[in-house]
Structure 1
Amino acid sequence: MSKLSLRALNRATLERQWLIERRTASALDAVEHLVGMQAQIPLSPYVGLWSRLEGFRPSELAGLLEDREAVRGSMMRATIHLMSSRDFLEIRPLVQPCMDREIYQNQSYGRKRLEGLDLPAVLTAGSALMAAGPATAVQLREHLGPLWPDREPPSLAHAVRCLLPTIQVPPRGVWGKGGNPAMSTAELWLGSPLNASPSLDQLVLRYLAAFGPASVADAQAWSGLTRLAEVFDRLDLRTYTDAESGRILYDLPTISLPDPDLPVPTRFLPEYDNLLLSHADRNRWIDDTQRSQLLVREVLTRGSVLVDGRVAAMWKLEKQGNKSAVLEVEPIDKLTARARSSVQAEGLRLIEFAASSAATVDVRIVG
């Protein structure tokens, strides 16, 4: 069984994440290849697609959302993801166990607050409200609270959000627009039911195509599902050994791995990019030791910069209308002169994409 170094894993996953060379694919193709994109920060996927696609424009993704070819809804790990509509209908039933845990183990809205409750009746009432038009969480609470006066309205609304295949409808998530999250169900919004017989095997294969080579634990960290070992066991997969940890890693037998010494460009990732969330062991991207746990969380919430394929800095963009845009980059460790130059150049391209109307722009590398 071949051994893979961290560098080999890094290059392999970067290549299938389309972060070594920008692709000429459509935004819809990219979203499907990536099996969705983390989207709890509504505009994050726009930066994620810009980093992966040649000539990507915000209007392309905005159009997909407005035309209902793509949606934002609760998916893997019970978090908001941008998905193609057909993938949402296919995959949402598979991740229902994540949504169930979110309900029954949540400290704020959990089991004790729902004990003895006629949940099917609550879901029917929530569906009826959304059938009249997309509803905000406040509207759900105001509608459900009087029907079950002995229960806490937030718990009722949370049950509807998680136990029904809810999506957040536009203008939420549309570039240049905004608004409070308003929910509908997949069937109401898309006019189609969820797939009645989805394939967990296919989901694992698609995960490996976008994030592999990976372990069973990695796939479980990405999906939020458990007991995936039996799925891996019945699939025809190639196996490797992680040279550092000794873990068994799995991959599709049809994919060849790139040269571990392949040069890779500097790339900016948005907040909560799935590249950094989708492995139980993040060492291929960042030193995932106990010492660095707070740093990892900060990287995820602020956006990250990959230099030579590893997280080297955090970034945030401050805009003042059309007057100015400042991209502030905070290195984790001291950058070499060559790395600073590449960060500066890619940062200017990011500002041109995200703040094209700004009169003045600047990339500030702090430290």
Structure 2
Amino acid sequence: MLSLRDLNRATLARQHLLSRHQGDAADIVHRLAGLQAQEPRPPYLGVHARLDGFERDDLHAALHARTLVRATLWRATLHLVTAADFAAFRPVVAPVLASAARRFDGIDFDAVVAAADRLLAEGPMTFNELRPRLMEEFPGAYDRALGYAVRMLTPLVVEPTQDRWSFPREPVFGPPGIEPAPVDVPALVERYLAAFGPATPADVQTWSGLGGIGKVMAGMDLERVTGPAGRELFDLPGAPRPGGDVPAPVRFLPDFDTLILGHADRTRVLAEEHKSRVTTRNLRVRAVYLVDGFAAGTWQIKRSGKKARLLVSPFGKPDLAPLEEEGLRLLAFAEPDATALTLEAADPV
């Protein structure tokens, strides 16, 4: 039987948050089956938390080489994934994305996709550029619905630039130039468990958006273990489960981090009483820091001239001393041109 701490440490080990991975940026993104990337900076910070000796230029170069791509994938949101994983998993989740698109009525989806393919063949565009062109061909349609349908139904990637975090504020989308190479759902489940396990079918479904996962997992050669509260968890045979007494270092995770979003039951890293302080009403998922393996507070960076401050908002009594080394390491990475770096407790809200 796994205690909550056992489950926590097993997941942190697979997320490379107990000890940083030795490898390159593409390797860690592959091991995590992607990092959520609604905004340009968080994936960089997510890799920084998990990869030893990580340099910004490594990820930047991988994006420009198309080894890594930023594209719509899990849960119909933008993710940073390897090109190989985009080829493998985008066709698998295509029905989920299509279902999301079809919540809008009165749209000829095939015609919209064909029009978008033709327009984007002229060159990459922002959706603010693409939507008016689509409206010319589909007058009277809801422009946001047209854009959303294209996002869900047409495989696209965001084009990298020379911006600090490789993308501008307004993303530019274009065809991926990647041939689909779909895998089966059991292969997807194995990749999930390697990065997030042990887990329930509901956890896999929350992460992937796919239904029918319970039946798939029941037919796989997976180990079954008893978790907290007697829940049955599935796992890969031989996957790391180091035990709840293994030390877990302080780690700072970015907004929308995959660890926080990767399970139906997040209590393995985020206590239920703190959930409302992390996930906002407008569905933003705040950056958190881990102490002893569990989310202990949120954080944000404030910049004024050449001074950068890392402001932490602890869930309990403030104790900044254990946070300083890792916090300033993060701040130096996120604000490399700042000449003064400080870690401070934020004013209570």
TM-score, normalised relative to structure 1:
0.90
Q: CA deviation at 1:185?
A: 2.3
Mapped pair 1:351 → 2:327:
no
Partner of 2:172: 182
List aligned pairs for 1:68-107, cutoff 5 A: 68-105=66-103
User: Which range is displaced more, 149-158 or 72-81?
Assistant: 149-158
Partner of 2:294: 310
Q: CA deviation at 1:44?
A: 0.3
Matched-pair contact (CA < 8 Å) for 2:278–2:288: no
Query: Which one-letter code corresponds to 2:118 in the other structure?
Result: A
Aligned mates of 2:4, 2:328 — CA distance in 1? 30
Q: Deviations over 1:285-321 (max 9, x none)?
A: 12225xx442230496330000000000110011235
SS at match of 1:342: helix
Partner of 2:239: 255
* Gap regions ≥5 residues in structure 2: none
Partner of 1:42: 40
User: Does the C-alpha gap of structure 1 residues 34 and 174 become closer, same or farther in structure 2, counting only changes over 3 Å?
Assistant: farther
Matched-pair contact (CA < 8 Å) for 1:315–1:328: yes
Query: Which one-letter code corresponds to 2:325 in the other structure?
Result: A
Q: CA deviation at 1:179?
A: 4.2
Mapped pair 1:297 → 2:295:
no
Q: Deviations over 1:165-194 (max 9, x none)?
A: 1221112875266242111122xxx3x321
Aligned mates of 1:277, 1:256 — CA distance in 2? 21
List aligned pairs for 1:144-223, cutoff 5 A: 144-171=134-161, 175=165, 178-186=168-176, 190=177, 192-195=178-181, 197-223=182-208
Q: CA deviation at 1:234?
A: 1.6
User: Does the C-alpha gap of structure 1 residues 307 and 173 become closer, same or farther in structure 2, counting only changes over 3 Å?
Assistant: farther
List aligned pairs for 1:56-135, cutoff 5 A: 56-105=54-103, 110=104, 112=105, 115=106, 117-135=107-125
Mapped pair 1:235 → 2:220:
yes
Query: Which one-letter code corresponds to 2:299 in the other structure?
Result: W
SS at match of 1:283: helix
User: Does the C-alpha gap of structure 1 residues 174 and 235 become closer, same or farther in structure 2, counting only changes over 3 Å?
Assistant: farther
Aligned mates of 2:135, 2:223 — CA distance in 1? 53
Q: Deviations over 1:67-117 (max 9, x none)?
A: 111111110000110001111011101111221232123xxxx2x2xx2x3
Mapped pair 1:33 → 2:25:
no
Matched-pair contact (CA < 8 Å) for 2:40–2:167: no
User: Which range is displaced more, 29-38 or 148-157?
Assistant: 148-157
Q: CA deviation at 1:355?
A: 1.3
Query: Which one-letter code corresponds to 1:19 in the other structure?
Result: L
Matched-pair contact (CA < 8 Å) for 1:65–1:174: no
Q: CA deviation at 1:146?
A: 1.4
Q: Deviations over 1:110-144 (max 9, x none)?
A: 2x2xx2x3321211110111111111112211111
Query: Which one-letter code corresponds to 2:3 in the other structure?
Result: S
Matched-pair contact (CA < 8 Å) for 1:22–1:54: yes
* Gap regions ≥5 residues in structure 1: none
Matched-pair contact (CA < 8 Å) for 2:69–2:157: yes
Could you tell me the percent identity over the aligned residues?
Answer: 39
Aligned mates of 2:222, 2:338 — CA distance in 1? 50
Query: Which one-letter code corresponds to 1:354 in the other structure?
Result: A
Correspondence for 1:225 among 180, 205, 210: 210
Query: Which one-letter code corresponds to 2:326 in the other structure?
Result: E
Partner of 2:17: 19
User: Does the C-alpha gap of structure 1 residues 34 and 177 become closer, same or farther in structure 2, counting only changes over 3 Å?
Assistant: closer
Matched-pair contact (CA < 8 Å) for 2:36–2:257: yes
Ranges of 4+ aligned residues in structure 1 off by more than 4 Å: none
Task: Provide the aligned C-alpha RMSD in A.
Answer: 1.8
Matched-pair contact (CA < 8 Å) for 1:59–1:175: no
Matched-pair contact (CA < 8 Å) for 2:13–2:240: no
Matched-pair contact (CA < 8 Å) for 2:278–2:298: no
Partner of 1:324: 307
SS at match of 2:242: coil
SS at match of 1:193: coil
SS at match of 1:88: helix
User: Does the C-alpha gap of structure 1 residues 177 and 264 become closer, same or farther in structure 2, counting only changes over 3 Å?
Assistant: same
SS at match of 1:150: coil
Query: Which one-letter code corresponds to 2:33 in the other structure?
Result: V
SS at match of 2:344: strand
Matched-pair contact (CA < 8 Å) for 1:135–1:182: yes
Matched-pair contact (CA < 8 Å) for 1:238–1:252: yes
Query: Which one-letter code corresponds to 1:160 in the other structure?
Result: V
Mapped pair 1:136 → 2:143:
no
Matched-pair contact (CA < 8 Å) for 2:33–2:192: yes
